[in-house]
Amino acid sequence: MSKLVTIYGGSGFVGRYIARRMAKLGWRVRVAVRRPNEALFVKPYGSVGQVEPVFCNIRDDESVRSVMHGADAVVNCVGTFDARGKNNFDAVQSEGAGRIARIAAEEGVESFVHLSAIGADRESASSYARTKGLGEEAVLASFPSAMILRPSVIFGMEDNFFNRFAGMARMGPVLPLVGADMKFQPVYVDNVAEAAEKGLTGVAAPGIYELGGPEVKSFRAFIEEMLSVIRRRKMLLNLPFGLASVMGRVSEFVQRITGGLFTAPITRDQVIMLRKDNVVSDGAKGLKELGITPVAPEAVLPDYLWRFRPGGQYDAIKESAASLRTE
Ligand SMILES: NC(=O)c1ccc[n+]([C@@H]2O[C@H](COP(=O)([O-])OP(=O)(O)OC[C@H]3O[C@@H](n4cnc5c(N)ncnc54)[C@H](OP(=O)(O)O)[C@@H]3O)[C@@H](O)[C@H]2O)c1
């Protein structure tokens, strides 16, 4: 019988890349999410019945246990940006992470990988970073041999970073940024998935790994790179943190009173996080120690950002026609 991995949050941005890799290795894959009906796209990652979306809510013990039955390895990819509601920071990133690790230890799971984030710290003023720190502690308390991955901002086809700013760049002459001078080190999604694969298959040593790409640049510099890929010129406006925080408060309020119909473009918690660089710390173990070559944004951004160009998919044809005319 082939080995079985349960991927909590396996339909999300990162989880689906891990699912695809584990299926390719011949493992059976259980994708544990709240809406398995919306995760059917994972089934073709393997042969018939090899990859199965199943219902699970990591806020409930029995739900977590039932989808872990018989698993050799477990990875937790569930995260949130919600400060309120049932699926909030504490419920998911701290208590949920601890719950999965505790049950994994009770069930005799062999390997455990947990997705955290750079900046995870129980003392942080940001609820996201604080609960990531508490989550790591809870995981290690129950499962000391866990692999903990702390990525910087993750990029790739379905990312919420470059896609989001490229979408905003279509709307007007000015692109507002918060923390434009802060340093980022974006890491490619499949590099993160490969790191997780090494943890799940026992190839990598346990411990905390900080994952960053090959380039460290300011937030502004990455946005300029994105703008050149989508061939748009915009004025970049660096918003002061104080003003951004007020905007965060107002947009969170509007999101609440519209019942989520309006999505806050930025939250106060995100403004707190943007006050710090998001890069791999000195001396931290990372992709190099895992034997993974990091992919640079410039190598993949054109593959998925072309749709934000003024002429979309026809831009390349127009350019090649234009060069024909000048010859
Ligand atoms: N993306 C980044 O740039 C980035 C950077 C650093 C760290 N991280 C961390 O990496 C991890 C993966 O991020 P991601 O971007 O892949 O997240 P994502 O796309 O938002 O995916 C989250 C997944 O969790 C599931 N989920 C949410 N609440 C759940 C619950 N209560 N019970 C069970 N499943 C639940 C979601 O499916 P349902 O909604 O169907 O339940 C979805 O499959 C997270 O821990 C995140 O904090 C991400």
180-224 confidence digits (pLDDT tens) = 999 999 999 999 999 999 999 999 999 999 999 999 999 999 999
- List helix spans (H) across the chain: 13-24, 61-66, 89, 97-106, 127-142, 162-168, 189-200, 219-229, 241-257, 268-273, 297-305, 315-326
- pTM as predicted: 0.96
Establish whether residue 140 lines the binding site of ligand 1, counting it when its CB lies within 6 angstroms of any ligand atom: no
Centroid of ligand 1 to alpha carbon of 22 (angstroms)? 18
Q: Quick one: which atom of ligand 1 is closest to the CA of 34?
A: 41
Centroid of ligand 1 to alpha carbon of 174 (angstroms)? 30
- Using alpha carbons, select from 223, 254, 234, 260 the residue that is nearest to residue 85: 260
| 53 φ, ψ (degrees, to nearest 5) | -75, 135
Establish whether residue 14 lines the binding site of ligand 1, counting it when its CB lies within 6 angstroms of any ligand atom: yes
Rg for the chain (alpha carbons), in Å?
Answer: 21
Beta partners for residue 30, in sequence order = 6, 52
Ligand 1 pocket mutation pick from 30, 33, 81, 89 by most atoms within 8 angstroms of CB: 33
Task: Please count the residues of the chain.
Answer: 327
Q: What distance lies between CA 261 and its chain's CA centroid?
A: 23
Centroid of ligand 1 to alpha carbon of 194 (angstroms)? 17
* Tens-digit pLDDT string for the chain (327 aa): 799 999 999 999 999 999 999 999 999 999 999 999 999 999 999 999 999 999 999 999 999 999 999 999 999 999 999 888 899 999 999 999 999 999 999 999 999 999 999 999 999 999 999 999 999 999 999 999 999 999 999 999 999 999 999 999 999 899 999 999 999 999 999 999 999 999 999 999 999 999 999 999 999 999 999 999 999 999 999 999 999 999 999 999 999 899 888 888 899 999 999 999 999 999 999 999 999 999 999 999 999 999 999 988 788 787 778 777 765
Ligand 1 pocket mutation pick from 31, 62, 77 by most atoms within 8 angstroms of CB: 77
Q: Quick one: which atom of ligand 1 is closest to the CA of 56?
A: 33
